[in-house]
Amino acid sequence: MLRQAPRFLLRRASAAAMRWSRPFSTDLPAETAGDSKFVDAWKKLIPNIDPPKTPSAYMAPRPPTPSTIPSKLTVNLVLPYDSVLSAKEVDMVIVPAATGQMGVLPGHVATITELKPGILSVHEGNDITKYFLSGGFAFVHANSIADIIAIEATPVDRIDQNLVQKGLAEFQQKLHSASTDVEKAEAQIGIDVYSALNAALTG
Amino acid sequence: MAMAALRREGRRIAAPLISPQPINPIRSSIASSEYDTIPFAFRFVYIYIFRNRMKSVRNIQKITKAMKMVAASKLRAIQTRAENSRGLWQPFTALLGDTPSVDVKKNVIVTISSDKGLCGGINSTSVKISRGLYKLNSGPEKECKYVILGEKAKAQLVRDSKKDIELAITELQKNPLNYTQVAVLADDILKNVEYDALRIVYNKFQSVVAFLPTTSTVLSPEIVEREAEAGGKLGELDSYEIEGGETKSEVLQNLTEFQFSCVMFNAVLENACSEQGARMSAMDSSSRNAGDMLDRLTLTYNRTRQASITTELIEIISGASALEG
């Protein structure tokens, strides 16, 4: 019985230590199934080093799909250098999908779409905010959360008409003088963006 | 008693100090126990030795304090950008889930580290985690390659895994980090390296004193489709309508490339923040250490000085009293 005592004490001590090993973190939700598989595999093979954290540890889990269609759509618009809108409740957004303008309402079917340069308009009650997006992706989830990831998003009133015309002319010039496919593709991209900007200002 | 204290001090300060002048030959050639046998005049040399040593320690302290200030200002500049970029990878994890335990044939471990040193243990931690992931993902029919960003990880990994390093990129922070640069880098990596899963290892910046080693996993489009069919975390992917582009696989391809560049951008910024924070605390403890060393040296310097004055007085007085008879 005395031989069992150290093992018993060690188990108690390690259990207490495990309870203490997650201090002061309010943004660490419970680990999901995939994580525990990774953590277990790591601990078995490399017992001396703590396993690295994974991104799901830093993110609050998304709410599940509700049974009735919610009244508002939650929109996240993120850019590499800023989150322009995060968890904003709106009525509708119109995204510039590659296949045309797409309206997203609460209860929209789950979609993944590529975006082309164009205008994103956010409708909240009677307010409409318009941003010019440079392109990216948009995910609409079944739980009425829309994630829009773009590289640049500027409010339309900050765009200068003259610079747009100049840029368009410049890229059209480049397309005429382009020789290789790469240059042609780059010039074409420039023309697409500037024509979209032009349309945004006039339309 | 002063001699005994000096002997003790001598033993302690002999090794770690870096003294640039020719003081070292004198110091090291005289063992502290022989101090008493040295004729009196040469004891003055010791005072100069101490003074020079104190001057160099003081200079080191000033340099490390300055480095800490510089790191603090760089941290301030980059911290807001890193925090703003944190929203960038979250939609991808919400859509595609977090699958660090995925079982694939071709693993590529992207290790992010710093170019400059003196930043504490963060580079060693990243390398340890990379090696751990390598071990975890090696087996029959599986291969694991490294892509290294930064000099420090390259120096450590070249020693034992030279044949597994596909690509090594240095001088990332010569220009301020921006998305375009990271996108070009991600494009380079995706073009030149065959991968089924990319595992990015970096230190996430939690606070100025806490850095969490983290690994993010980005899967190739084929593996995404395979996992979606298999069910589990990506099982719901099939329920998403795909718009834009001609085929689903083309959109998935663009999606994974975009995900990789976004995750890389956040990882590089977080690692840069962690580097500056670690450098701040390393330089801070170094200045404090130099301060302690300086205090000890000052004490022994004063004791030596007073001892030599006392000895001189004793000799004069005993000489005088001998004359008087």
Which residue would you say has higher pLDDT here, B273 or A179? B273
**Does the distance separating the beta carbons of A34 and B99 come in below 8 Å?**
yes
Amino acid at A128: I
- Nearest 5 degrees, angle CA A75-CA A77-CA A80? 155
**Does the distance separating the beta carbons of B98 and A54 come in below 8 Å?**
yes
pLDDT tens by residue, chain B, 325 residues: 555 554 555 444 444 444 444 444 444 444 444 445 555 556 667 788 899 999 999 999 999 999 999 999 999 999 999 999 998 999 999 888 888 888 889 999 999 999 999 989 999 999 999 999 999 988 888 899 999 999 999 999 999 888 999 999 999 888 889 899 999 999 999 999 999 999 999 999 999 999 999 999 999 999 888 888 887 777 778 788 888 767 888 888 999 999 999 999 999 999 999 999 999 999 999 999 999 999 999 999 999 999 999 999 999 999 999 998 7
Residues 6+ apart with CB under 8 A from A163: none
**Does the distance separating the beta carbons of A52 and B129 come in below 8 Å?**
yes
Residue of B nearest to A86 (CA): B87
pTM attached to this predicted model:
0.81
Q: Which two tokens stand for residue A77?
A: 């618009």
**Does the distance separating the beta carbons of A110 and B214 come in below 8 Å?**
no
Question: Considering CB atoms only, which of B85, B213, B258 is closest to A52?
Answer: B213
**Does the distance separating the beta carbons of B99 and A149 come in below 8 Å?**
no
- What is the structure's pLDDT at B26? 42
Q: Quote the minimal CA–CA distance from A153 to chain B in Å.
A: 14
**With contacts defined as CB-CB under 8 Å, which chain A residues touch B212?**
52-53
Q: Work out the number of other CB atoms within 10 angstroms of the CB of residue B39.
A: 6
Spatial contact of B147 and B113, defined as CB atoms under 8 Å apart: no
- Least confident interval from A20-24, A151-155, A194-198, B177-181: A20-24
**Does the distance separating the beta carbons of A55 and B98 come in below 8 Å?**
yes
Using CA atoms, how far apart are residues B297 and A142, in angstroms rounded to an integer? 70
Q: Which two tokens stand for residue B321?
A: 């009293």
B215 in contact with chain A, both atoms CB, cutoff 8 A: yes
pLDDT digits (tens, 9 = 90+) for A93-118: 999 998 888 999 998 888 899 998 99
What mean pLDDT is predicted for residues A61-71?
85
Distances from the Cα of B198 to the Cα of A191, B130, B180, B262, angstroms: 34, 12, 20, 13
Question: Considering CB atoms only, which of A56, A62, A82 is closest to B84?
Answer: A82
Residue of B nearest to A102 (CA): B243
- What is the structure's pLDDT at B15? 40
Which residue would you say has higher pLDDT here, B58 or A167? B58
Residue of A nearest to B201 (CA): A52
- What is the structure's pLDDT at B8? 53
Residues 6+ apart with CB under 8 A from B280: B68, B71, B72, B75, B208
**Does the distance separating the beta carbons of A32 and B98 come in below 8 Å?**
yes
**With contacts defined as CB-CB under 8 Å, which chain A residues touch B242?**
111-113
Q: Which two tokens stand for residue B183?
A: 């996108």
- Least confident interval from A14-23, A148-157, A184-193, B274-283: A14-23
- What is the structure's pLDDT at A77? 92
Using CA atoms, how far apart are residues A108 and B230, in angstroms rounded to an integer? 26
DSSP states of B212-276: EEEEEEEE-HHHHHHHHHH-GGGGGGGGSEEESSSSHHHHHHHHHHHHHHHHHHHHHHHHHHHHH
What mean pLDDT is predicted for residues A34-61?
86
- What is the structure's pLDDT at B227? 86
Q: Is the pLDDT of residue A33 over 70?
A: no
Residue of A nearest to B215 (CA): A54
- What is the structure's pLDDT at B39? 56
Question: Considering CB atoms only, which of A59, A113, A116 is closest to B93?
Answer: A59
Alpha carbons within 13 A on the beta-carbon side of B317: 6
Using CA atoms, how far apart are residues B134 and A45, in angstroms rounded to an integer? 11
Helical residues (DSSP H) of chain B, grouped into ranges: 2-13, 23-29, 43-84, 90-96, 122-136, 151-160, 179-192, 221-230, 248-324
B104 in contact with chain A, both atoms CB, cutoff 8 A: no
Q: Which two tokens stand for residue B316?
A: 């004069």
- What is the structure's pLDDT at A156? 85
Q: Is B122 left (phi over 0), alpha (psi -120 to 50) or beta?
A: alpha
Residues 6+ apart with CB under 8 A from B223: B102, B104, B196, B197
- Nearest of A58, A47, A57, A59 to residue A14 by alpha carbon: A47
Using CA atoms, how far apart are residues A184 and A173, in angstroms rounded to an integer? 11
**Does the distance separating the beta carbons of B262 and A111 come in below 8 Å?**
no
**Does the distance separating the beta carbons of B88 and A149 come in below 8 Å?**
yes
CA B30 to chain centre: 38
**Does the distance separating the beta carbons of A76 and B244 come in below 8 Å?**
no
Question: Considering CB atoms only, which of A34, A113, A147 is closest to B91?
Answer: A147
| Dihedral sign for Cα atoms in the order B286, B291, B297, B300 | negative
Question: Considering CB atoms only, which of A42, A59, A111 is closest to B240?
Answer: A111
Q: Which two tokens stand for residue B243?
A: 């718009």
**With contacts defined as CB-CB under 8 Å, which chain B residues touch A151?**
179
- What is the structure's pLDDT at B24? 44
Question: Considering CB atoms only, which of B81, B239, B254 is closest to A81?
Answer: B81
Q: Quote the minimal CA–CA distance from B285 to chain A in Å.
A: 24
Q: Which two tokens stand for residue A190?
A: 């420039």
Classify the complex by whether its ipTM is higher than 0.90, answering yes or no.
no
In 3-state terms chain A splits into helix, strand, coil percentages (rounded to 5) of 35, 30, 35
Using CA atoms, how far apart are residues B242 and A135, in angstroms rounded to an integer? 16
- Cβ-Cβ contacts under 8 Å between A and B: the total is 144
| Dihedral sign for Cα atoms in the order A188, A189, A192, A194 | negative
